[in-house]
Structures are given as structure tokens and as C-alpha cells.
């Protein structure tokens, strides 16, 4: 059976599935239950300075889509509202009780060297495995010049990371905010500051909806609302892209992947794009801690089927194939094929193609029945019909250019620079 042991930023765990810093990791009770269920590690919910934080009562919102509950999940919750010493005592006890599991502590304090130095000393006494610097929280704390207010300024990321590396022996992980134009800038700053790894993505600034009776953004707090941080399956594509960008540009920087991981396949995709492990929050809040059992079994079974023996054999295998648009083969050509035996005659392929694409699917009547056929000469291989079709395998894309030479934009005759080279 596949060996799921993983190492991230020098921190070992029996499997790559960690719980992210969030409500599920707010106290020892939760984390003990998580470890009993099989999670390989946790990032303790973000600690700050005393006095404790004051949270709002209404704090979660969600987007449900087409019958799927919590396709996106949003919160306006702040860092832990429990006293610092209680958290530290519980961290120490959890690490004693579960020595083979990863216990990392998320931190957020004011942007002064003394504040970071003081809390690092107290956290180090717990015996935890490392710290994660929360430079990503996009609400509440950012208005206090912490969280994303730091993560959006590469100079601050580098400065605070360097402070932490100077004042602790523990591995230092930097959690990055996606609320930036270019994720590589703060990632490079973390690396310059000496970070042992980065984790991403934190939540995306969002408003999940508006209560049209109260005329207030959701979640509503006494008639008013604010933007929150979006997580869950809806943000997975954003997270995959940012993880892949870092893996491609900075292959030596360890990455922990976060964002919409709900099943084993999600984890495999993050690992294939360069992540050493993954962190989960929304799926655990939606379905409970025992979901990790299916994640572990599913990942192990898939690795066995592909003859991957370790996580490291999977990690980064898709990165070489993640290229810039200009490196894609412009001679590659595919067209759609419709399996008439599987077709249920719904017409979605025709409607989408006829109204919004290339008029490449004909709507016919054959023996009094509807029939949809591809017009090869008009099909550009855009995939829309295959994606819209409700029947798996009914529409496939078939390659037409077998044996054609690879031509990228750099060599294409329509590229002015390419023409100059050709001349």
C-alpha cells in the first residue's frame, strides 16, 4: 500500500491531510477528536496577544449552487477569542498526547519586532512543531494593520518573517493572502526573509449575498454586514493556480496547499502541482472530522493504481506541464464526437454552441426523433458541449492533428517577433 507519510517545512506527519487554522482547530477537545479520526496534523487557530478578541454573533455565510450546499463558505470571524495562556497549555498537552502528529501554531500580533519576539518565546515552550504566520486574514484584523494588511506588502512580509526566524528555532511558515495581484511577490518576500515554507491560499475577500428584506450584506449583524473571507470548493481553482505559480517559479520553496479541498482527488491535484501537503477547513465544518478516512483511503488507492509509492513521487509531477499560454501547441486540433447511444436528446450541446459559440452542432430530425450531430468543419474544439452535457462520456473530444509539428506562439507566422526570426 502507498506510503502517505509527508514532510513539509521539515515537519513530518503520518499523512498529508492537515486541518487548517480555523474554528475546527480552536481547542484541544476538537483537535483530539480530529487526531482520533486520523488527521495527520493541525494548524491551531490563530493566537494573538491578550486581552481576548471579541467576535460577532452572526459570523458565517454561504453560497449554495444548483442543490449543492456550501459550495462557497464565508466568515467574518476573527482570530481565537480564548485567552492566550489557555491555548498554550492545551497545545502543550495535545503535543504530549499525540507526539507523532504535526501541531503547528498560527500567530498574528501587531507589526512590531517585540510583539513577535514575545509570543514566539511563549509558543516555543509548548513543544509544538512550528509556527504559521497569518498574513492572510482579509477582514477585521486587517483593519487593525494585521493579517492581509501585512501580507499585501512584500516588504512587511519579508521583515516580519526575518524577525521570526531570528527569534525562534521552530520552522516558520508564512500563510499568504490571495488578495493580491501577483502571488509571487509575497512568496518571494517570505523566501528572502528565510521562511521554511509557505501555505496558501487564505480566504478571498467576498460578500456571499444580500438580504433583500434588510438590505444588508450577509451574514447580517443587527441590520448591517461587512465583507468576509471566502473558502470552500468555489475557491479551489484560484488556489490551484497560485500554488502552481509558486511551484513553477520557486521550486525549492515548500508549499502547503489550501483552498476547497473536500475529497482525495482535490488533495492529489494540489500535490501534483507542487504542494507537500494540504490543509482542510470547510469540508470538515460541513461533514465532520471523519471525512479524512475517505481522503486517506482514496489517495492511497489511487497511488497504488498508478504505482506511486510515496507522496514525493506525486509532488510536482504536473508542474512541468503548467506552462505559459505562449508555450501551448497551436497546431493541436480536436473536434467533438457525440455517442448517439448515450445521448438523452436534451439539446444542451446544440443550444450552447448555437447561441454562444460556433454553430457547430446541428439539430436534426431522424425518423421523427431529435438527433444532434457535430459539423466538423465548424468545430473549433472549445469543449463547451462536452462540459455542458449532463451524461458522462456522451461527448468526447477527438484529436485530429496526429503527427503535426508543434507550433507555439513564439514560432507562429502571425507573431511579429516570430516573423522576424523566420526572416
Q: How far is CA 214 from CA 58, 59, 60, 77, 221, in A?
A: 15, 17, 17, 21, 11
Q: Give 320's contacts (C-beta < 8 A, 6+ positions apart).
A: none
Element (H or E) spanning 14, and its range? none
Task: Please identify which of the residues 111, 128, 137, 379 carries the catalytic annotation.
Answer: 137
CA dist 349 and 354 (Å) reads 8
Write out the DSSP string of 91-133.
HHHHHHH-TTSEEEEEE---SSHHHHHHHHHHHHTTT-SEEEE
Please name every residue paired with 205 in a beta bridge, in sequence order, or none if there are none.
Answer: 229
The DSSP result for 311-322, as a single string, is HHHHTTTTGGG-
Reduced to 3 states (helix: H, G, I; strand: E, B; else coil), residue 162 is helix
Is 212 exposed, middle or buried (CB count within 10 Å of its CB: 0-12, 13-18, 19+)? exposed
Angle at 131 between CA 125 and CA 133, to 5 degrees: 135
Asked if 264 contacts 302 with a C-beta cutoff of 8 angstroms, the reply is yes
> Is 382 one of the catalytic residues?
no
Chain centroid to CA 59: 22
The Cα–Cα gap between 398 and 277 comes to 35
Catalytic residues: 137
Amino acid at each position: 500500500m502507498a506510503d502517505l507519510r509527508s514532510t513539509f517545512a521539515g515537519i513530518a506527519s503520518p499523512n498529508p491531510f492537515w486541518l487548517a487554522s480555523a474554528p475546527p482547530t480552536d481547542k484541544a477537545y476538537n483537535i483530539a477528536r480530529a487526531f482520533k479520526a486520523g488527521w495527520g496534523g493541525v494548524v491551531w487557530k490563530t493566537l494573538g496577544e491578550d486581552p481576548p478578541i471579541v467576535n460577532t454573533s452572526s459570523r458565517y455565510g454561504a453560497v449554495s449552487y444548483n442543490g449543492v450546499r456550501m459550495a462557497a463558505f464565508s466568515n467574518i470571524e476573527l482570530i481565537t477569542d480564548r485567552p492566550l495562556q489557555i491555548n498554550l497549555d492545551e497545545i502543550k498537552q495535545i503535543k504530549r498526547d499525540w507526539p507523532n502528529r504535526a501541531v503547528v501554531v498560527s500567530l498574528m500580533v501587531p507589526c512590531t519586532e517585540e510583539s513577535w519576539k514575545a509570543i514566539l518565546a511563549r509558543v516555543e515552550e509548548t513543544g509544538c512543531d512550528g509556527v504559521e504566520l497569518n498574513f492572510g486574514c482579509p477582514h477585521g484584523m486587517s483593519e487593525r494593520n494585521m493579517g492581509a494588511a501585512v501580507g499585501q506588502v512584500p516588504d512587511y512580509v519579508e521583515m516580519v518573517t526575518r524577525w521570526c526566524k531570528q527569534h525562534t528555532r521552530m520552522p516558520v511558515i508564512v500563510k499568504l493572502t490571495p488578495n493580491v495581484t501577483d502571488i509571487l511577490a509575497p512568496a518571494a518576500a517570505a523566501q528572502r526573509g528565510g521562511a521554511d515554507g509557505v501555505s496558501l491560499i487564505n480566504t478571498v475577500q467576498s460578500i456571499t449575498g444580500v438580504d433583500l428584506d434588510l438590505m444588508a450584506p450577509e451574514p447580517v449583524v443587527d441590520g448591517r454586514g461587512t465583507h468576509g473571507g471566502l473558502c470552500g470548493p468555489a475557491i479551489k481553482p484560484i488556489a490551484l493556480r497560485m500554488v502552481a505559480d509558486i511551484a513553477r517559479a520557486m521550486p525549492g520553496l515548500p508549499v502547503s496547499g489550501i483552498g476547497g479541498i473536500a475529497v482525495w482527488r482535490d488533495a492529489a491535484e494540489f500535490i501534483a502541482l507542487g504542494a507537500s501537503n494540504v490543509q482542510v477547513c470547510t469540508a470538515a465544518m460541513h461533514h465532520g472530522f471523519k471525512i479524512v478516512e475517505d481522503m486517506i483511503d482514496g489517495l492511497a488507492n489511487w497511488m497504488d493504481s498508478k504505482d506511486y509509492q510515496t507522496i514525493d513521487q506525486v509532488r510536482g509531477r504536473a508542474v512541468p506541464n503548467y506552462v505559459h499560454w505562449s508555450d501551448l501547441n497551436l497546431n493541436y486540433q480536436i473536434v467533438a464526437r457525440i455517442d448517439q447511444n448515450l445521448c438523452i436528446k436534451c439539446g444542451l450541446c446544440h443550444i450552447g454552441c448555437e447561441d454562444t459559440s460556433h454553430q457547430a452542432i446541428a439539430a436534426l430530425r431522424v425518423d421523427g426523433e431529435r438527433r444532434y450531430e457535430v459539423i466538423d468543419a465548424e468545430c473549433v474544439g472549445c469543449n463547451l458541449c462536452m462540459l455542458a452535457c449532463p451524461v458522462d462520456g456522451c461527448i468526447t473530444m477527438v484529436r485530429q492533428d496526429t503527427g503535426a509539428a508543434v507550433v507555439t506562439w513564439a514560432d507562429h507566422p502571425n507573431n511579429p517577433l516570430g516573423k522576424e526570426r523566420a526572416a
